[in-house]
Amino acid sequence: MFDLYIGNKNYSSWSLRPWLLMKHFGIPFTERMVSVAGREYNAALKPLAGNARVPCLHDDGFQVWESIAIAEYLAERHPQMWPADSKARARARSVSAEMHAGFGALRTAMPMNLKLKLKGKPAAPAVQRDIDRIVEIWEEARTQFASGDGPWLFGDFSVADAMFAPIAWRLHVYNVPLPPVAAAYRDAMLAHPAMQEWYAAGIRETEAHAHYDRLAEDYGGAR
């Protein structure tokens, strides 16, 4: 039996990825939420994850941490989590790894906070470069690999979609304008039933962190 340790749904973008992946593919698990209060090393999480971070998957006590590693561990049992075509699968793995390791400017400027809906403002150059690259990835996947079979990056839902799911929320919350193909993909992601379930739970949370909440003022206030 799987136990998935995650952070607050309102704030924890990393936790959304394996949670969404397991929900979409109907993999049973027990959800165990811990607070992501504070931005520094949290020794209290060390017993739950070797890197003292969430998310962390426990498989009968065996720990798998980092969202991309959790996805790969699950995909060994559920190979449909990656595209069947070898080139599409390689590209899906490439962009998933890029998402896991990159886009630091966007992450810093636009931390996840589902309770906000902002007016938006022009992005700083480094942030805009990250946005442009995300749009490029989404458009390439949708036009070259999706083949019209479904609304997801590679047609059927895959690890790549789970990896980019928090970005869909960020671009929505911070009111980032997108070209048509990227906007349609963002909207499909936000409409996913599990994404709506996560959102509803995040909105109900009462724990607040000022560092993330004050971004509303930075981005011109709420709509």
User: Residue 176 corresponds to which tokens in the numbers above?
Assistant: 């980032």
How many angstroms separate the CA atoms of 159 and 205, rounded?
A: 27
> Which CATH architecture fits 83-204?
Up-down Bundle (1.20)
**Range 52-88 burial, b when 16+ CB lie within 10 A, else e:** ebbbbbbeeeebbbbbbebbbbbbeeeeebbbeeeeb
Most confident stretch, 101-110, 187-196, 210-219: 187-196
More confident call, 170 vs 116: 170
The pLDDT confidence band at residue 45, using thresholds 50, 70 and 90, is confident
How many angstroms separate the CA atoms of 92 and 96, rounded?
A: 6
The pLDDT confidence band at residue 43, using thresholds 50, 70 and 90, is confident
Is the pLDDT confidence value at 216 over 60? no
Domain boundaries, the chain: 2-79, 83-204
Fold match flag (2-79 vs 83-204): no
| Reported CATH class of domain 2-79 | alpha beta
**Each residue of 131-189: pLDDT tens digit?**
999 999 999 999 999 976 789 999 999 999 999 999 999 999 999 999 999 999 999 99
CB-based contact 71:159 (threshold 8 Å): yes
